[in-house]
Amino acid sequence: MADAYPKTPMLDELEKGKWPSFVTEIKMAAADNPMGKDLLGLLERSYREKIGHWKHGGIVGVMGYGGGVIGRYNDLPDEYPNISHFHTMRINQPAGWFYTTEALRKICDIWEKHGSGLTNMHGSTGDIILLGTTTDELEPTFDELQKINFDIGGSGSDVRTPSCCCGQARCEWACYDTMGACYDFTMAYQDELHRPAFPYKFKFKFSGCPNDCVASIARSDMSIIGMWRDDIQMDKDAIKEYADGGMDIKADVVDNCPAKCMDWNGKELTIENSYCRHCMHCINVMPKALAPGKDRGATILLGAKAPIVEGALLSSVIIPFIKMEPPYQEIKDLTERIWDVWCEEGKNRERVGEFIQRVGLGNFLEAIEVEPIPEMVAHPRENPYVFYEEYFEEDDGSED
């Protein structure tokens, strides 16, 4: 099986159509690397039999690190010997995914030498994913990657590789330096990234504005989303230009404002900023005329996760506004208080969001020393988890 190029009628179907095909990519890799051939054969067989043939291997890694390598073995090693081991390495991507072509070529050269040559750019957490190598090749790959200044990312019960949008590097809407913050947190929490010590994974994602291009609100335990707290900036001449150019400002902008806090009288646009929900809709539709305010920082939200052990959660507001200035000490202090409580009381494989649901937000806030505030309530009367102790003391439970 290993030497013959396998027939793959089912996989071939996935090459039809105009979109890129991972099957084509594996076939290209198979031309030079026997791992690719066996991978095609095993995948075709899995499709035919409707049975997965991968076993999870729990011990592989590099010396001193507890994350970043995901062990994989196939359960038919005699038939597919070249992918008997097929471990994945997660490599910490640069902030904002900015590379030089030279860096990319070096990564690919290293991976062709030590692994299958197949990559996934990028995994859902953001890492560079190097697919398929043997246990013996892990340390040599790691050594070579370190020489070109790349390090392994997170996996298991640790801080996962933080990720961010391109922020101020390319985007005028960035309310803080997402790349700077992402790099700072990555370096500050190296120990937590490489030495799993938590009940389960913990993800940071940094978005420069509420457009949230890295989907932090859905995919990170701590979402740090750029925010402004003054008025939306307006350029009246540019608004007129949009109107003169045929934009229906009432239908396309004002009527779609979720806060219903905008008005257009045919000549002038007004915004009642105190009601604005910072959704970015109007700014996205009229980018030349509107922009986030000048008093910028971030909102911190907590608790998102994809459905694994339990259902999906979006993160919810824990700090409505904070200035984002290095070294971000206030956020780090908050993060460490959250970790302390979660590590002490959290169950195995319980994400922070699930932990908060179990213990109740009121108890959690008390434990991390954060005061409950109205911004934490999604809808009035829908989140009855905040109790005012003074109220009970004064009232003493007796009826008037």
Partner 1 sequence: MAKTVEEITEMMYKMISEAQGIKKLKPMDLTKAMKQLLGDEFDKKTCKLAIKNLIDTGRCVYTYFGGSFIELPHKEGAAND
- Which residues contact partner 1 (rule: CB under 8 A)? 55-59, 61, 63-67, 70-71, 73-74, 77, 84-85, 135, 155-158, 191, 195-200, 343-344, 348-349
Least CB distance to partner 1 at residue 158 (A):
7
Indicate which single residue of 88, 125, 211, 335 sits in contact with ligand SF4 (rule: CB under 6 A): 211
Instruction: Compute how many other C-beta atoms are within 10 angstroms of the C-beta atom of residue 47.
Output: 15
Q: Closer CB to partner 1, residue 85 or residue 219?
A: 85
In angstroms, what is the minimal distance from the CB of 151 to partner 1?
A: 16
CB 94 to ligand SF4: min, Å: 16
Give the separation between CA 345 and CA 363, rounded to whole angstroms: 12
Which CB, 209 or 361, lies closer to ligand SF4? 209
Instruction: Judge whether 152 and 67 are in contact, CB under 8 Å.
Output: yes
Q: Does 223 bind ligand SF4 (CB under 6 A)?
A: no
| Residue 89 half-sphere exposure toward CB, CA atoms < 13 A | 31
Q: Which residues contact 376 (CB under 8 A, 6 or more apart)?
A: 316, 317, 318, 361, 365, 383, 386
Q: How far is the CB of 214 from partner 1 (least distance, A)?
A: 25
Among 41, 68, 123, 167, which residue interacts with ligand SF4 (rule: CB under 6 A)? Answer: 167
Is residue 209 involved in binding ligand SF4 (CB under 6 A)?
A: yes
Q: Which of 207, 223, 315, 335 binds ligand SF4 (CB under 6 A)?
A: 207
Q: Shortest approach of ligand SF4 to residue 226 CB, angstroms?
A: 6
Report how far residue 91's alpha carbon sits from residue 119's, in angstroms, rounded to the nearest whole number. 11
User: Does residue 212 touch ligand SF4 according to CB under 6 A?
Assistant: yes
Q: What is the rounded CA–CA span in Å between residue 363 and residue 113?
A: 53
Return the half-sphere exposure (C-beta side, CA atoms, 13 A cut-off) of residue 215: 8
Q: In this chain, which of 9, 20, 258, 311 binds ligand SF4, going by CB under 6 A?
A: 258
By C-beta, is 38 or 212 nearer to ligand SF4? 212
For the beta sheet containing 128-131, the strands, ordered from the edge strand earlier in sequence to the opposite edge, are 54-57, 69-74, 88-91, 128-131, 118-121
Of the candidates 267, 181, 265, 282, the one whose C-alpha atom is nearest the C-alpha of residue 231 is 282
Rounded Cα distance between 47 and 310, Å, is 28
Question: CA 369: distance to chain centroid?
Answer: 26
* Whole-number Å distance between alpha carbons of 324 and 176: 6
Least separation in angstroms between CB 351 and ligand SF4: 23
Bridge-based pairing of strands 262-264 and 269-271 is antiparallel
Find the shortest distance in angstroms from Cβ 227 to ligand SF4.
11
Instruction: Indicate which of ligand SF4, partner 1, none lies near residue 195 (CB less than 5 to 8 Å, by partner kind).
Output: partner 1
**Which residue of 171, 234, 247, 377 would you call a contact of ligand SF4, by CB under 6 A?**
171
* CA–CA dist 162, 79 (Å, integer): 39
Question: Going residue by residue from 261 to 300, which x/- string records binding to ligand SF4, judged by CB under 6 A?
Answer: xx--------x----xxxxxxx------------------
Q: Are strands 222-228 and 296-302 parallel, antiparallel or unpaired?
A: antiparallel
CA 373 to chain centre: 26
Q: Which one, 27 or 201, has the nearer CB to partner 1?
A: 201
Considering the complex, state which of residue 67 and residue 96 has its C-beta at the smaller distance from partner 1: 67
236-258 per-residue burial string, b: 16 or more CB within 10 A, e: under 16: eeebeebbeeebebbeebbeebe
Q: How far is the CB of 229 from ligand SF4 (least distance, A)?
A: 12
Rounded alpha-carbon distances, angstroms, from residue 121 to 118, 155, 165, 199: 10, 17, 15, 28
Question: Which DSSP helix (H) or strand (E) runs through 135?
Answer: helix 135-147
Q: How many residues bind ligand SF4 (CB under 6 A)?
A: 26
* Tokens standing for residue 139: 């340390």
**In the bound complex, what is the minimum distance in angstroms from residue 65's beta carbon to partner 1?**
8
When asked if residue 173 is in the footprint of ligand SF4 (CB under 6 A), the reply is: yes
Q: Write down the least CB distance from residue 233 to ligand SF4, Å.
A: 12
10-49 footprint of ligand SF4 as x/- string (CB under 6 A): ----------------------------------------
- The residue among 69 and 174 lying less far from ligand SF4, judged by its C-beta, is 174
State the residues that interact with ligand SF4 by CB under 6 A: 165-167, 171, 173-174, 207-209, 211-213, 226, 257-259, 261-262, 271, 276-282
